Amino acid sequence: MKVRSITIPELHHFKDLHLDLTYPAGHPKAGKALDKVCIIGQSGTGKTTLLKLISAISYNGYSYSEIGSMDQICQVSLDFEFEDFIVSKFIDFDDESDPEKKIVSSYWNDFYRNGEEIEFESIESKWEAYLDAIKPTSIFFPADLDYKLEVEHDSLLDLQELKNIDFSSYSAANTWTIILNEIQKYQEEEIKIRQEISHIAEKATDIKAIQKAVKKLEKWRHETPSPVQGIADKCLDPLLKNFGLRVKTKLDFQGKDDIGFLKIEDFSGNEVPNGLLSTGTKQVMLSALPLYLLQPSKCQILYDEPERSLYPDLQRTIIDYYQSLTTDCQFFFSTHSPIIASSFEPWEIVELKFDKNWNIYRDLYYEGENHVENYFVDPRYLDYDLILKKIFDLADTSTDMRTEAIVELTMLKNQIDTLKEKGQLKTPKAKEIVTRYKVLAQKLAWKTE
Amino acid sequence: MRKIDKSLMLATRYKKWLDTLNEKNEKHTIYNSSNGKYYYDIVANLIWVQAGLCAYSERLLQEHSRFDPGNWTNGGFPRFQFSGQLDHYDATLKEQYGWSWDNFFVIDADINVKLKRTNIPTGLLKPDMPHYNPRVYLEYERTHHVFVPNRDLEFPVQEQVRKDISCLGINFQPIIDIRKYYLEPLFFDVEYQVRSRTQVQNHLYQFFTAFDLVADRL
């Protein structure tokens, strides 16, 4: 189920805001909901509020109170598409329940199929079956993700049982429960085969019997990779290698309670204590691992400031990477990073701005009809300097010193050319100018053209 | 930077007040920006003689036709909305001669750079001086869209011009981007004969000097 549009009549700085979140005409997916959305804007323009609204109205109604009063939130509606249906949804207090308890319910405005309005009853069963089949339906990663890696086995949540996963309410390390049992079973199986080998070795006089038992262990290992090996190969090692680290795949615990959380080691095999892992490493682990282990499909995934603590090289790859861990999910990212924004098509960017009355509006990147041909800004064609200027509206990206150096360098080059024409390049004056030119050009990284 | 003729005095109330001060050799009253009695008269007069352009960068600031001499009353002009700034060419004169006509230009707020507060320009690039001719002092470097000293000048003069370019802020980054975005399509048209130079010039409304200096070489 993907969000096609959001309509906010009035909420904080939002007034009569309508966000179209579908691909424009001329796009291969024209008219379909966007696969990923990048929300950018000055601090205070409501990026995080928008993420929370989407989460609350989609599936997570009980969390509305973080956003505002129900009087305002009940006016906000989201259009969704699932299969070939389009539905409009809002949340409000259940008017049949006890007013004191204030139970939040979902309400449906309109249903469409192939552009024709239809009755809810005609698709109710399909709708319920659809929702039942999806678990989780939404995953929210807040900007202030809990970086705690220590897990207490008694209080771990079973995230696979939750419809809505909100990591602002509990640690992403809870994802570890998903693999805990698998690791224990794996370890028990290995111990069992090892015991068999020991047993044979005690009794057997035939070396071939021992070799056969050892081969059995090797075959089992080959055919049954460690659950941690999968995390290492398919999820975390491609990212951790940027920090000179990898997942420790060798399991050396005695019982379930001894498993703890994922262990990280350097390339020499030295285990790195959790307390010494950088925030960037933890950010990578705790933002990617849940997607790998939960294997979300047709789910909404919301990241607030995914760039946190990540060096630019990782920021450049992280969006595609998150998508690669999921199936047919819709992603929402709120970011201040031009590097993150460069991963998006222009229609996938929602830039929020204040108008002169301090109300929020969306800065459109097209003129006339919403058609791919009418977009005049496309981050995929811009370098980071231009993304800062054209997307993030930064007027001045180069320093004044650089510009002045360019002027000086051009002047010096002209002087050298003049001296060359006059055959005076060997004079002390020429040498002085050439030296000055080279020193300055080096400071400009020879980016002089 | 185009040459500017400031001899047409429309703000005659201000001129009379200034002449009286000068005759008596009195210090000017403290320059207090738009609170000054003749501030809008001065700005309106300058916008007219500068044809609505920033005196240094030549960015279009304001449509200047409303400041036509026929729209003035008794040597004054009523208050109006104004987005640029009234600049003191030599900032060091601000304290004692803050209302001197010769020292005033209307400029883009974006180029009123900090450097100008401490550096005194040499006067070589003062756009109303009789000697001033942009072709003599400036070249336009199209790759970076910056003004640079004319290579035909003596090397020490080039250094002076370079410092004045910096001091006046005509290569200030936001202006460079605006200038580039405006001029490049026009250069393309002239270079590849989409339109003639004259056709483009007929529609040009800002950055005249940069256009001329590059168009000469296209």
All residues of chain A having their beta carbon less than 8 Å from the beta carbon of residue B143 are 449
Measure the CA–CA gap between B153 and A389, rounded to whole angstroms: 36
Whole-number percent of chain B with pLDDT over 90: 71
Alpha helices by DSSP H, A16-106: 47-58, 70-73
Q: Look at residue B117 in the predicted model and tell me its pLDDT.
A: 62
All residues of chain B having their beta carbon less than 8 Å from the beta carbon of residue A389 are 177
Q: pLDDT tens digits for A154-189?
A: 667 788 888 889 898 888 888 887 887 788 788 888
- For residue A32 the two structure tokens come to 């379909």
Chains A and B form CB pairs within 8 A to the count of 55
Q: Look at residue A99 in the predicted model and tell me its pLDDT.
A: 63
> pLDDT-based confidence at B57, cuts 50/70/90?
very high
Which of B144, B180, B181 is the best residue to mutate to test the A interface, defined by the most A CB atoms within 10 Å of its own CB?
B144
All residues of chain A having their beta carbon less than 8 Å from the beta carbon of residue B147 are 407
Compute the half-sphere exposure of residue A63: CA atoms within 13 Å on the CB side of its CA: 19
Put simply, the answer to whether B166 touches A395 (Cβ < 8 Å) is no
Q: pLDDT tens digits for A51-70?
A: 999 988 887 667 788 888 88
Put simply, the answer to whether A414 touches B151 (Cβ < 8 Å) is yes
Average pLDDT for chain B = 91
Any A CB within 8 A of B144 CB: yes
Identify the CA nearest to B82 among candidates B126, B50, B116. B50
Any B CB within 8 A of A436 CB: no
- For residue B111 the two structure tokens come to 């180029």
C-beta separation of A68 from A91 below 8 A: no
Average pLDDT, integer, range A116-142 = 83
- For residue A266 the two structure tokens come to 């350097």
C-beta separation of A448 from A440 below 8 A: no
Q: Look at residue A163 in the predicted model and tell me its pLDDT.
A: 85
Residue of B nearest to A416 (CA): B151
Average pLDDT, integer, range B126-130 = 95
Any A CB within 8 A of B217 CB: no
Instruction: Indicate the residue of A403, A410, A411 with minimum beta-carbon distance to B176.
Output: A403
What 3-state DSSP class applies to A369? coil
| The one-letter amino acid at B181 | Y
C-beta separation of A179 from A325 below 8 A: no
pLDDT for residue B114 is more than 80: no
Any B CB within 8 A of A427 CB: no
Parallel, antiparallel or unpaired: strands A36-41 and A14-20: unpaired
Measure the CA–CA gap between A119 and A127, rounded to whole angstroms: 12
Any A CB within 8 A of B143 CB: yes
CA distance B111 to chain A (A): 11
Question: Could you give the angle at which helices A400-421 and A428-443 cross, rounded to 10 degrees?
Answer: 150
Q: pLDDT tens digits for A78-109?
A: 999 888 888 888 888 887 666 667 788 888 87
Any A CB within 8 A of B184 CB: no
- Structure-model confidence comparison of residues B208 and A196, the more confident one: B208
Any B CB within 8 A of A98 CB: no
Instruction: Indicate the residue of A389, A397, A403 with minimum beta-carbon distance to B146.
Output: A403
All residues of chain B having their beta carbon less than 8 Å from the beta carbon of residue A404 are 166, 171
CB-based contacts of A264, cutoff 8 Å, min separation 6:
A240, A245, A246, A247, A248, A271, A272, A274, A277, A281, A285
> pLDDT-based confidence at A112, cuts 50/70/90?
confident
pTM over cut 0.90: no
Cross-strand bridge partners of residue A300: A138, A330
- Structure-model confidence comparison of residues B82 and B195, the more confident one: B195
Q: Helix/strand/coil (H, E, C) string of chain B? A: CCCCCCCCCCCHHHHHHHHHHHHCCCCCCCCCHHHCCCHHHHHHHHHHHCCCECCCCCCECCCCHHHCHHHCECCECCCCCCCCEEEECCHHHCCCCCCCHHHEEEECHHHCCCHHHHCCCCCCCCCCCCCCCHHHHEEEECCCCEEEECCCCCHHHHHHHHHHHHHHCCCCHHHHHHHHHHHHHHHHHHHCCCCCHHHHHHHCCCCHHHHHHHHCCC
Average pLDDT, integer, range A222-243 = 88
Instruction: Indicate the residue of A395, A407, A418 with minimum beta-carbon distance to B174.
Output: A395
All residues of chain A having their beta carbon less than 8 Å from the beta carbon of residue B170 are none
- Determine phi and psi for A275, rounding to 5 degrees: -65, -20
Which of B118, B139, B173 is the best residue to mutate to test the A interface, defined by the most A CB atoms within 10 Å of its own CB?
B173
Any B CB within 8 A of A65 CB: no
Distances (CA, A) of B2 to B49, B77, B137: 11, 25, 11
CB-based contacts of B183, cutoff 8 Å, min separation 6:
B145, B207, B210, B211, B214
CB-based contacts of A314, cutoff 8 Å, min separation 6:
A239, A242, A280, A284
Q: pLDDT tens digits for B28-48?
A: 777 777 677 889 999 999 999
- Structure-model confidence comparison of residues A68 and A397, the more confident one: A68
Q: Look at residue A71 in the predicted model and tell me its pLDDT.
A: 87
Measure the CA–CA gap between A130 and A137, rounded to whole angstroms: 11
Average pLDDT for chain A = 87
Q: pLDDT tens digits for B146-161?
A: 999 999 999 999 999 9
Distances (CA, A) of A1 to A21, A24, A238: 13, 19, 30
Any B CB within 8 A of A411 CB: yes
Instruction: Indicate the residue of A395, A411, A417 with minimum beta-carbon distance to B162.
Output: A411
pLDDT for residue A387 is more than 70: yes
Any A CB within 8 A of B153 CB: no
All residues of chain A having their beta carbon less than 8 Å from the beta carbon of residue B151 are 411, 414-415, 417-418
Put simply, the answer to whether B149 touches A411 (Cβ < 8 Å) is yes
Put simply, the answer to whether A396 touches B174 (Cβ < 8 Å) is yes
Measure the CA–CA gap between A341 and A378, rounded to whole angstroms: 10
Mean pLDDT is lowest, of A267-271, A342-346, A386-390, for: A386-390
Put simply, the answer to whether A410 touches B148 (Cβ < 8 Å) is yes
Any B CB within 8 A of A421 CB: no
CA distance A408 to chain B (A): 7
Residue of A nearest to B168 (CA): A404
Whole-number percent of chain B with pLDDT over 70: 96
| The one-letter amino acid at B216 | D
pLDDT for residue A125 is more than 60: yes
Which of B116, B150, B162 is the best residue to mutate to test the A interface, defined by the most A CB atoms within 10 Å of its own CB?
B162
Question: Could you give the angle at which helices B173-191 and B208-215 cross, rounded to 10 degrees?
Answer: 40
Which of A393, A410, A437 is the best residue to mutate to test the B interface, defined by the most B CB atoms within 10 Å of its own CB?
A410
All residues of chain B having their beta carbon less than 8 Å from the beta carbon of residue A395 are 110, 173-174, 177
Put simply, the answer to whether B173 touches A407 (Cβ < 8 Å) is no
- For residue A300 the two structure tokens come to 């909404």
Q: Look at residue B115 in the predicted model and tell me its pLDDT.
A: 58
DSSP state, residue A74: T
Compute the half-sphere exposure of residue B92: CA atoms within 13 Å on the CB side of its CA: 7
Instruction: Indicate the residue of B110, B148, B171 with minimum beta-carbon distance to A411.
Output: B148
Any B CB within 8 A of A394 CB: no
pLDDT for residue A256 is more than 60: no
Residue B109's CB is within 10 A of a number of other CB atoms, namely: 12
Any A CB within 8 A of B151 CB: yes
Q: Could you please report the per-residue DSSP string of A374-437?
A: GB---GGG--HHHHHHHTS--S--S-HHHHHHHHHHHHHHHHHHHHHHTT-TTSHHHHHHHHHH
Q: Look at residue B145 in the predicted model and tell me its pLDDT.
A: 95
C-beta separation of A248 from A265 below 8 A: yes
CA distance A343 to chain B (A): 24
R_g of chain A, CA atoms, integer Å? 29
